[in-house]
Structure 1
Amino acid sequence: MEEFNITTIAGFVLLSFSDFHQYQAVIFVLALLTYVTSVIGNTAVIAFVQTEPSLHTPMYLFICTFSALEIMFVSSTVPKLLASLVSTNKNISFITCFTQLYVFNSLGVTECYLLAVMVFDRHLAIQHPLQYPAIMNTRLCNKLAVLPWMVGFGIVMAPTIITAQLEFCGSEINHFFCDFAPLQSMACSIPLVLIVITSSIAFLDVVVPFIIILGFYVQIITTVLKIKSNEGKLKAFSTCSSHLIVASLFYGTATIVYVKPKGNQYDKFLALMYTAVTPFINPFIYTFRNRDVKSVLKKYIERILKKQ
């Protein structure tokens, strides 16, 4: 009979990038710069939208919500990574590990559904431009902004609780944060119910919002192609181009990390792209590729130059 070394786990060890010891200083500097820039950039987007009355529209409310989400998303993993890169103590308590697991995955699901809400807003604006202001009123806008958070933090609770009740045959997590796959890989056995729940949640987390986004974009593109003037087509596409790029980056990196076969030593670098680099890039996409934001920035610069 096969025997397992089953012990009561008080905590885990996050191995992080210890197998790339010679590059840890470089990884630390890059992760720190990415984190600081991401937090500052997304905070700047929120402050900019809040202080500019012309941007007080549903689309920019969702962008502000998305920026706040990105700050929390990157803060759920990168600070612990930075600490582990400069310290020999790579321990993480059981409670802290599963809190990180729950918060990180909840924020990830929230982002999936918030991206779906944002494309619904653009779909409504393009498909029904005259009725849009009446339909997308403040009440509906606030409900749609809150809904992804309720779905995200509700849907991840069950697999988190079940995973926390598993018996673990090891304590070393070959990753820089606590996630379902590395934790479940250390379990002595995985009950069928957890496999079913995890698979079902993964479908609801990623596939459902992706299908929603894809469906809305098919309708948007179909509608835009019917517009006769090139200027009208360009204006319609410009309203959702930033969202399309952000959604592509998010789903592209997430798919690479979670769908590809596991076990490669570079998986952690791919996960770093998903958890840190994407939130770092998003503020630049929403500022440099957004016509309204560039217009407001131009006015601010002109005012400053006139005062001088």
Structure 2
Amino acid sequence: MDMYNHTIISEFILVGLSDSQELQLFLFVVFLYIYIITVSGNVYLILAYRFSPNLHTPMYFYLANFSFLDICYITGTVPKMLSNFLSEEKTISVYGCAIQMYCVWLFGGTECYILAAMAYDRYNAICHPLLYKVIMNNETCTLLIIGSWIIGAANSLIHTVLTFSLTFCSNKINHFFCDVPPVLELSCTSTWINELVIFLIGGCVVIGSFIWIMISYIKIILTVVKVHSRSGGSKTFSTCTSHLIVVTIFYGSGIFMYFRPKSSYGMDQDRLISVMYTVIAPMLNPMVYSLRNSEVKLAMKRIWSQLIKL
């Protein structure tokens, strides 16, 4: 296609999850319900950490930050999706699209490294219990959180700027939010630089943090194998299982979505896969961590009883 055969685009059209008008109201109810559950569950975890002194440890500090990030992450996509379910136009301005893309990649990249920080915390707690409080002090925990946000912000800025430096010949995005792969599909010009950056810089963020998590858990497993007490080993695995469930859902869907050739972009299953890491994962996180954690459940019961008394 001739790179000059285009018009200036002021807004994009988001196709959404389905073209069927009959499904729009049903999907609106489903995703509204998911959004309310996700925000409520994560707020509850933040409150449990804030008002329970016994939870003021590095593990729950990371969990509270992770919950805040999940609220931001799902808010970056679902509210706009909900409004589009009830709208006939389903449009988003170019600037709105750029902001949404930046936010989603910011929260996604930051989440990668907070998950890595959580794995590092579990590694030190299990493999170096006597030095744990020295290694994971307040300064270290804070620096790991700040570093996660800086990496996420830099990664997001690079991808967003490169994407919106392209020339677009169409404004119909085959997705429910402004993500890099479906927006690249609209370009009249070559996108090989964008694809290369996704593989190189995006790979460092996603694959790099994933490798760090795997190394941490391999060392944890090797340490647990040496534990003679079955109950001790079982308790350790139970503590780490929740984190591994979240990692599997988030990284599995994210790696499939971004680290493949451009020729396979735009398929209908991409939208369903994106739902896994942008909507389902943030919803499951508070359930996974609270239902499998007696300390969190006890803290939540205390908060709930105090709210009832008010």
Do they superpose with TM above 0.5?
yes
**What TM-score comes out, normalization by structure 1 length?**
0.92
Distance 1:88 1:223, change over 3 A: same
Match of 2:285 among 267, 273, 282: 282
Superposed counterparts of 1:246-285, under 5 Å: 246-259=246-259, 261-285=264-288
Q: Within 5 A, what are the aligned runs for 1:124-135?
A: 124-135=124-135
CA drift of 1:297 comes to: 5.0
Alignment check: 8 A CA contact 2:181 2:266 kept: no
Cα 1:18–1:218 shift into 2, 3 Å: closer
Q: Which residue in the other structure is 2:58 paired with?
A: 58
User: CA deviation digits over 1:77-96, x for unaligned, max 9?
Assistant: 00000000001121111111
Match of 1:74 in 2: 74
Relative to structure 1, is the Cα distance of residues 128 and 17 closer, same or farther in structure 2, using a 3 angstrom cutoff?
closer
Deviates more, 1:262-271 or 1:219-228: 262-271
Q: How far is 1:248 from its partner?
A: 1.2
Q: Indicate how the Cα distance of structure 1 residues 19 and 123 shifts in structure 2: closer, same or farther if over 3 A, else same.
A: same
Does the alignment pair 1:292 with 2:279?
no
TM-aligned CA deviation for residue 269 of structure 1: 2.3
Correspondence for 1:166: 166
Name the amino acid aligned to 2:110: T
CA separation in 2, counterparts of 1:122 and 1:3? 52
Residue matched to 2:45: 45
Change (3 A) 1:98 1:125: same
In the alignment of these two chains, the number of paired residues is 304
Q: Which one is further off, 197-206 or 249-258?
A: 249-258
CA RMSD of aligned residues (A): 2.1
- Give the whole-Å Cα distance in 1 for the aligned partners of 2:164 and 2:3: 22
Secondary structure class of the residue paired with 1:12 = strand
> Cα deviation per residue 1:209-249 (whole Å; 9 max; x = unaligned)?
11111111100000001001111112222222211111112
- Tell me the alpha carbon deviations over residues 134-155 of structure 1, each in whole angstroms, 9 at most, x when there is no partner: 2211111111122111100012
SS of structure 1 residue aligned to 2:268: coil
Supply the distance in 2 between the matched residues of 1:145 and 1:208 (Cα, whole angstroms): 16
Gaps of 5+ in 1: none
Q: Percent identity?
A: 39
CA distance in 1, matches of 2:21, 2:208: 40
1:186 matched to 2:189? The reply is no
Secondary structure at the counterpart of residue 19 of structure 1 = coil
Could you tell me which residue of structure 2 aligns to residue 104 of structure 1?
Answer: 104
1:167-223 CA distance string (max 9 Å, x none): 101111111100111111110012543332222122112111111111111000000
Structure 2, unpaired ranges of 5+: none
Residue 121 of structure 1 deviates from its aligned partner by: 0.4
Q: Is the 8 A contact 1:125 1:132 kept in 2?
A: yes
| Aligned equivalents of 2:303, 2:87: Cα separation in 1 | 44
Aligned to 1:157: 157
Contact 2:14/2:92 (8 A) holds in 1: yes
* CA 1:297–1:70: 2 relative to 1, 3 Å: closer
